[in-house]
Structure 1
Amino acid sequence: MNQTRRPRRPPDGGYARGDETRQRIIAAAVTLFGEHGFAGASTRDIAAAAGVNAPALQYYFENKEGLYQACAEYITNDLKARFAPVMRQANDVLKSDGDTDALIDAYLGIHEVTMDCVLLQPYASKKRLFVARELADEEPDVASKLLHQRLKKPLNKLILTLLSRIMGTSPNDSVTRIRMLTLKGQIMPFYHPPGACLDLLGWKEIDAAKGALLKATVLAQTRTLLDSWRVGPGAHRSAP
């Protein structure tokens, strides 16, 4: 993918209708890039899906590479905004030396947002497919790099800090990191709903009610695990 030039129109400027058009193009592009890849998604098809003419893409994004970059920025910024409130709350708990119950609640707050992003947003599956192509080395790793640097890296550091405080260990402790991965792993079977999990559950889809049931179940068992690992009066660190 070639280096992009600066778009003729600043991404955050202009009038409301122009911003709406730009966002509509990005939404269509995320879907088509996810379904067909960078090479397979033509600018003509993206423009048609967005309900604009082809020159509009050049006006807003300069070229196809610029549009792909804009999609990566949108996905990253959208996820950062969703996690920002619970990350601030968790940092406040850590700074105030909150008790173990507060630390567990903060951890579960992050876990809940993760579940919401996976289960309860119809557009989320299209964004996941966009990023999944990069992770499979099918596309340049633009979005995955942005997500790692701007969200995953600070989020993982925060989660490890919470978990280490709950367990009374170091964030660098191997058991702490293994347990963080296993807690995240509870969500992975539902990350791509069309897969085997639907067949096992006997469901055709994950609608809002079923998503709420999955979320409540995973959060409850996460709380049980965190409670069993906690260090406090009368408690001890569980053996690995």
Structure 2
Amino acid sequence: MTESRKPRHSTEGGYARGEETRRKLIDAAISLFGQHGFAGASTRDIAALAGVNAPALQYYFENKEGVYRACAESIADEALQVLEPALLAAQRTLDDEGATQDALIDSFVTLQCSIADLMFKKGRETDRRLFFAREQGGGEPEIGSQILRDRLRSPMNKVNAALVARITGRAENDPITIVRMISIWGQFFAFHVARESTLSMLGWADLDGENAEFVKTIVSAQTRLLLDSWRREAE
């Protein structure tokens, strides 16, 4: 599969304009891929939504697969900007053989809340949520799932499984560890995937500010209770 191209402008001003154009194309593509899927979004429509000429997309990305790959890379980059500090901190806790159970649980909750911050972030979340939903549903180019898996999901899952394993005294690859990690990690996803339904039930207009903090507080407390109960089972 063809890799996305970088702008080839040599001057500083031209490079900045090139990056702006490339960014517009990626944002437009994420929106249309989310709404219509890979097959339903044309390169012409992507260029039109970005407000650029159709040849510009070929210049930067060569083809539709190239721009799809760039979309996945961009989403991974944005996510890691939010998640990486907590991810690195959690790994440091895991590397500390003397880390207490409370420190391990704190690391898990902090990492979980960083995911919530990413999900509840205002702005372009709808387009990215739809892009994720289609990619997870299958039928989209495998390169997108590969990028998101290699750069984002696998590192997160590895650290989270290791934290649950250390807390509960089980192996990281134990099916019980994995199911527990997936289930406890998924508490925020209902607010992300079924956003409109949850907002309707709560009578909220949006999920930001005090509302987001309220959800994080409740879910974090549940997470601590579950992790602590599993810890006590192992004693």
The question of a shared fold, defined as TM-score above 0.5 by the shorter chain, is answered with yes
Partners of 2:6 and 2:145 in 1: how far apart? 26
| Partner in structure 2 of residue 7 of structure 1 | 5
Whether contact under 8 Å (2:24, 2:50) holds in the other structure is yes
After superposition, residues 182-221 of structure 1 pair within 5 angstroms as 182-221=183-222
Partners of 1:59 and 1:192 in 2: how far apart? 35
| Partner in structure 2 of residue 92 of structure 1 | 92
Q: CA deviation at 1:59?
A: 1.7
Q: Which amino acid aligns with 2:128?
A: K
Whether contact under 8 Å (1:35, 1:129) holds in the other structure is yes
| Partner in structure 1 of residue 110 of structure 2 | 109
Q: Deviations over 1:69-107 (max 9, x none)?
A: 111211122223322111111111111221111111111
| Partner in structure 2 of residue 61 of structure 1 | 61
Q: CA deviation at 1:21?
A: 1.7
Q: Deviations over 1:192-222 (max 9, x none)?
A: 2444323332334424332221112111221
| Partner in structure 1 of residue 73 of structure 2 | 73
Q: CA deviation at 1:8?
A: 7.3
Whether contact under 8 Å (1:76, 1:143) holds in the other structure is no
What secondary structure is seen at the aligned counterpart in 2 of 1:29? Answer: helix
| Partner in structure 2 of residue 222 of structure 1 | 223
| Partner in structure 2 of residue 139 of structure 1 | 140
Q: Which amino acid aligns with 1:198?
A: L
Partners of 1:206 and 1:21 in 2: how far apart? 31
Partners of 2:69 and 2:143 in 1: how far apart? 7
Partners of 1:124 and 1:169 in 2: how far apart? 36
| Partner in structure 2 of residue 17 of structure 1 | 17
Q: Which amino acid aligns with 1:153?
A: S
Q: CA deviation at 1:51?
A: 2.1
Q: CA deviation at 1:136?
A: 1.9
Q: Give the 3 Å change call, closer, same or farther, for CA 182–21 of structure 1 in structure 2.
A: same
Whether contact under 8 Å (1:22, 1:60) holds in the other structure is yes
| Partner in structure 2 of residue 28 of structure 1 | 28
Whether contact under 8 Å (1:8, 1:59) holds in the other structure is no
Q: Give the 3 Å change call, closer, same or farther, for CA 180–127 of structure 1 in structure 2.
A: same
Whether contact under 8 Å (2:65, 2:141) holds in the other structure is no
| Partner in structure 2 of residue 176 of structure 1 | 177
| Partner in structure 2 of residue 152 of structure 1 | 153
| Partner in structure 1 of residue 234 of structure 2 | 237
**Structure 1 stretch displaced more, 218-227 or 27-36:** 218-227
Q: CA deviation at 1:31?
A: 0.5
Q: CA deviation at 1:158?
A: 1.0
Whether contact under 8 Å (1:183, 1:222) holds in the other structure is yes
| Identical residues among aligned pairs (%) | 45
Gaps of 5+ in 2: none
**RMSD over aligned Cα atoms:** 2.4
Whether contact under 8 Å (1:131, 1:144) holds in the other structure is no
Partners of 1:174 and 1:52 in 2: how far apart? 50
Q: Give the 3 Å change call, closer, same or farther, for CA 6–143 of structure 1 in structure 2.
A: closer
Q: CA deviation at 1:167?
A: 1.5
Q: Which amino acid aligns with 1:71?
A: C
Partners of 1:63 and 1:6 in 2: how far apart? 9
What secondary structure is seen at the aligned counterpart in 2 of 1:47? Answer: helix
Partners of 2:208 and 2:102 in 1: how far apart? 31
Partners of 1:197 and 1:42 in 2: how far apart? 33
Number of aligned residue pairs: give it.
231
Gaps of 5+ in 1: none
Q: CA deviation at 1:176?
A: 2.1
Larger helix proportion of the pair: 2
Q: Which amino acid aligns with 2:100?
A: D
